[in-house]
């Protein structure tokens, strides 16, 4: 679920830890993020909440789950807890709502600002949430009944490695004009191709791919994979065909990597 190791120089049971692994989320301050009821049920049955989670079933008894919950809920961000949630983000929400309304270009700028200004705080939140949900294609990964027939927003990648170089929008990005360099730069900074484009000033005009914070190695691996997606079939003799033993080894290695059943590196 998450992990840390004690620095050993602060408090006997201090909460100032840094992550030892990348597998699970940082649990520092978790008491300010979730309710004790949610955490208790998550500890008892992680897959009852999310069927594909990497969190293992710890086989805790009800009492053990209550004890772990009580321990974890002690970690809080007191300064954050003292803030009113909506009051904290409302100026940001209002600003985003104004930008989104202007981006629609259905009204003049002044009229758009007046419309947003007349909205209640809740109306602004709902307006921004709906617009951003649609614009960034959240329904591509998350099942939402109202959007089950919506068109995905992502680029078709099946034969991306065969795409002509002149069909890639390098724009003004200062990179080499190759498929690999295009993909690598996109992985590291998805909005690099907005650079220098006057038409990308408004939020809804910018590139949509989120930033996944890939390492250089991860970006290279993904880019290599993309470049390999070509429409030329690979000759059968060139395909790797493991025997039963090596197939089992590969399957076991994948399980170990997914569930971090190995020392952190």
Q: What is residue 173's predicted lDDT score, i.e. its pLDDT?
A: 87
Cross-strand pairs, 18? 5
Q: What is residue 1's predicted lDDT score, i.e. its pLDDT?
A: 47
What is the number of helices (H) and of strands (E) in the chain? 10, 2
Confidence grade of residue 231 (pLDDT, cut at 50, 70, 90): confident
pLDDT in tens, 99-148: 888 877 777 888 888 999 999 988 999 999 998 998 888 888 888 888 88
Rg of the chain over all Cα atoms, to the nearest angstrom:
24
Confidence grade of residue 80 (pLDDT, cut at 50, 70, 90): confident
Q: What is residue 233's predicted lDDT score, i.e. its pLDDT?
A: 76
76: number of Cβ within 10 Å: 15
- Write out the two tokens for 98: 């104004």
DSSP three-state, residue 96: helix
* Backbone torsions φ then ψ of 248, nearest 5 degrees: -65, -40
Q: Where are the beta strands (DSSP E) in the chain?
A: 5-6, 17-18
Confidence grade of residue 11 (pLDDT, cut at 50, 70, 90): very low
Residue 263 has pLDDT above 50, yes or no: no
Residue 227 has pLDDT above 90, yes or no: yes
What letter does residue 156 receive in the DSSP assignment? P
Q: What is residue 110's predicted lDDT score, i.e. its pLDDT?
A: 87
What letter does residue 28 receive in the DSSP assignment? T
Confidence grade of residue 212 (pLDDT, cut at 50, 70, 90): confident
What percent of the chain stands above pLDDT 90?
A: 39
Tell me how far apart the alpha carbons of residues 150 and 134 are, in angstroms, rounded to a whole number: 9
């Amino acid at each position: 679920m998450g992990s840390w190791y004690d620095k050993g120089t602060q408090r006997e049971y201090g909460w100032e830890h840094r992550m030892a692994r990348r597998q699970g989320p940082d649990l520092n301050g978790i008491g300010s993020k979730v309710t004790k009821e949610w955490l208790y049920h998550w500890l008892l049955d992680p897959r009852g909440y999310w069927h594909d989670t990497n969190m293992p079933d710890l086989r805790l008894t009800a009492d053990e789950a209550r004890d772990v919950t009580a321990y974890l809920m002690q970690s809080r961000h007191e300064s954050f807890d003292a803030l009113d949630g909506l009051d904290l983000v409302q100026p940001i929400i209002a600003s985003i709502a104004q930008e989104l309304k202007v981006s629609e270009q259905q009204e003049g700028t002044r009229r758009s600002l007046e419309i947003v200004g007349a909205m209640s705080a809740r109306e602004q939140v709902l307006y921004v949430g709906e617009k951003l949900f649609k614009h960034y294609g959240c329904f591509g990964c998350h099942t939402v009944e109202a959007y089950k027939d919506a068109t995905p927003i992502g680029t078709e990648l099946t034969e991306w490695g065969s795409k002509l170089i002149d069909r890639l929008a390098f724009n003004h990005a200062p990179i080499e004009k190759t498929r690999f360099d295009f993909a690598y730069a996109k992985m590291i900074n998805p909005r690099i191709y907005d650079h220098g484009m006057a038409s990308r000033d408004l939020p809804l005009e910018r590139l949509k791919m989120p930033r996944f914070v890939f390492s250089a190695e991860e970006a290279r691996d993904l880019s290599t994979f993309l470049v390999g997606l070509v429409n030329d079939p690979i000759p059968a003799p060139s395909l790797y065909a493991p025997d039963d033993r090596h197939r089992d080894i590969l399957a076991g290695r994948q399980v170990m990597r997914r569930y971090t059943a190995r020392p952190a590196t």
